[in-house]
Structure 1
Amino acid sequence: MGAVRSVLRNESRTMAGLWLYVRRRKDGVDGDAVAVPYGANGKSIFIVLAVVSAVEAGLFWLIDFGLVVDLLLLALGVYSALLVFGVYAGTVVRPHVISSREVRVRYSSFYDVRIPRENVVALRHVKESHDPLKAQKFRDGTWLSHDNFYETNLIAELREPITVTRPLGATETVRVVKFQADDPKAAVEAYERLSPDRI
């Protein structure tokens, strides 16, 4: 039942992300916080998937299953296209965030990992490619945010373990968080500039 609740929560957050996208707002970027965009390389894939979903809905409409079934298939197709575009919109309106208070690692509506600054030993720019089969699992206390073709370019090393919640609700305890940013050097610079010791 927890997985179903997580799916429904993710879908509602996806639709909320669409509303933020239309209003050109970003979630969680306030005070001294700096937005750290990610996923620019995946934009074209989301556009293709959304177009395919819309075309698929149109093709089903051409086949006569009866009015009720046709309307249901059309509604499902439009909803699928909205969900796909909503996931993309979520990557725009919910960027990673670095502030003097925390490092926040996110991916659209699916996860939001908040790490207090006092628990971050270092944030380093290291580009890595990961084996998809191994990246599916949490290994040696390391969490791979594998949303960008299994590539990461930032590593946050932690003093104390944190609990990470997966999209379907399962949790894992990790000491290292690896994730991806469009401009990892700018992310590290923001992290150093907003160090509590320097503010």
Structure 2
Amino acid sequence: MSSPPGRTRHVAFTVVTVVVVGGNGLLTLLGVLTPGQALTATLAVEIPLVLLTVALTWRAVLRLRRETGSTWRRALGAHAATDPFLHAARSEFRLFRSLWLWIRGRRDGVSASVAGFDYAGGTMVIPVAFIAVSLLEAVVVHLLVPWQWLRVVLLVLTVYGVVFLLGLLASRSVHPHLVSETRLTLRYGAEPVAVIPLSAIVSVSENRRYSHTYPACDDDRLYIAGADGTNLDVVLAAPCRVVLPGMGSRAKRTRTVRTVSLHVADPVRLAELLTPART
């Protein structure tokens, strides 16, 4: 089976970037190029690739908009679902937006008529540990690496990695599950997992399950678990379509389920809001 053009282009551009950056870095370490010359040579290749990517993306979105008659935002979203570059850029934008909301003390989608239910408790340990290790690594690298330019590059990469992890933490805190007057919206970070009409809910019960500690599906049951499993079961009257989150658009999986098991910080209150729907 042949790869989509967008994915083939992504692989080709990635290979070119790795070869150029790796080759220039090796030549710099061998003393053939100065750091300035290596940077100039890298930018001479990367800037045209970026401009070409922008041009191809613009053409694809414009074609989708003409073919479907959709808005710019919908056409861009549809293209982002298949284009690896655009999907990665959108994912990073969502992380930085989550970090900004976290700093401001805001939660996405929560209002006077829409209740939010947190699920991030217990999922922060590993990312926080990575942040601590990254900061320690930055200090060690600064002391051990003799080349100033390499210390600067590694410091920039470390800072970016820490900001990325902070954005990941923030995305789970500022994107809670939502309950409005008509529907239950389940999320995992910035990614929506399912939208369930309240009228489709048959029963809600507190029940501790330890089958999974990450989003998964078993048969017709969806698990949106925390570090210690799930604590609430929601049974539906009809099958519901869900999208399991993953790394990149290709990793996402669509399933149909009849039951949802999830972890929330306040299962009692969520059950109270969802129970009237079945009566």
Class of the TM-score when normalised by the shorter of the 2 chains: 0.7 to 0.9
Which aligned pairs between 1:3-152 and structure 2 lie closer than 5 A?
4=84, 6-64=87-145, 66-130=147-211, 138-146=217-225, 148-149=226-227, 151-152=229-230
Q: Say whether 1:160 aligns with 2:238.
A: yes
Taking the aligned partners of 2:196 and 2:146, their CA distance within structure 1 comes to 52
What TM-score does the superposition give when structure 2 sets the normalisation length?
0.61
Secondary structure at the aligned position of 1:69 is classed as helix
Query: Is the 1:32–1:100 Cα contact (8 Å) retained in structure 2?
Result: yes
Q: Say whether 1:189 aligns with 2:272.
A: yes
What TM-score does the superposition give when structure 1 sets the normalisation length?
0.82
Identity %: 25
Paired amino acid for 2:136: V
Secondary structure at the aligned position of 2:137 is classed as helix
Taking the aligned partners of 1:112 and 1:51, their CA distance within structure 2 comes to 30
Taking the aligned partners of 2:183 and 2:147, their CA distance within structure 1 comes to 55
Structure number with higher relative contact order (C-alpha < 8 Å, ≥ 6 residues apart)? 1
Secondary structure at the aligned position of 2:119 is classed as coil
Paired amino acid for 1:152: T
Unaligned stretches of 5+ in structure 2? 1-6, 8-81
Map of 2:44 onto structure 1 = none
Paired amino acid for 2:223: L
Taking the aligned partners of 1:139 and 1:112, their CA distance within structure 2 comes to 15
Taking the aligned partners of 1:173 and 1:65, their CA distance within structure 2 comes to 56
Query: Is the 2:115–2:180 Cα contact (8 Å) retained in structure 1?
Result: yes
Deviation at 1:139, TM superposition (A): 1.9
Paired amino acid for 1:98: V
Pick the structure with greater CA Rg: 2
Aligned pair in 2 of structure 1 residues 176, 70: CA closer, same or farther (>3 Å)? same
Secondary structure at the aligned position of 1:13 is classed as helix
Unaligned stretches of 5+ in structure 1? none
Q: How many residues align?
A: 193
Higher helix share: 2
Of stretches 104-113 and 1-10 in structure 1, the one that deviates more from structure 2 is 1-10
Taking the aligned partners of 2:150 and 2:118, their CA distance within structure 1 comes to 41
Taking the aligned partners of 2:217 and 2:278, their CA distance within structure 1 comes to 30
Aligned pair in 2 of structure 1 residues 24, 136: CA closer, same or farther (>3 Å)? closer
Taking the aligned partners of 2:125 and 2:216, their CA distance within structure 1 comes to 27
Map of 2:77 onto structure 1 = none
Of stretches 24-33 and 102-111 in structure 1, the one that deviates more from structure 2 is 102-111
Deviation at 1:6, TM superposition (A): 4.4
Deviation at 1:8, TM superposition (A): 4.0
Deviation at 1:110, TM superposition (A): 4.1
Secondary structure at the aligned position of 2:234 is classed as strand
Paired amino acid for 1:172: R
Query: Is the 1:58–1:74 Cα contact (8 Å) retained in structure 2?
Result: no
Deviation at 1:150, TM superposition (A): 5.3
Paired amino acid for 2:207: V
Query: Is the 2:138–2:158 Cα contact (8 Å) retained in structure 1?
Result: yes
Query: Is the 1:101–1:117 Cα contact (8 Å) retained in structure 2?
Result: yes
Taking the aligned partners of 1:3 and 1:138, their CA distance within structure 2 comes to 26
Aligned pair in 2 of structure 1 residues 19, 101: CA closer, same or farther (>3 Å)? same
Aligned pair in 2 of structure 1 residues 150, 26: CA closer, same or farther (>3 Å)? same
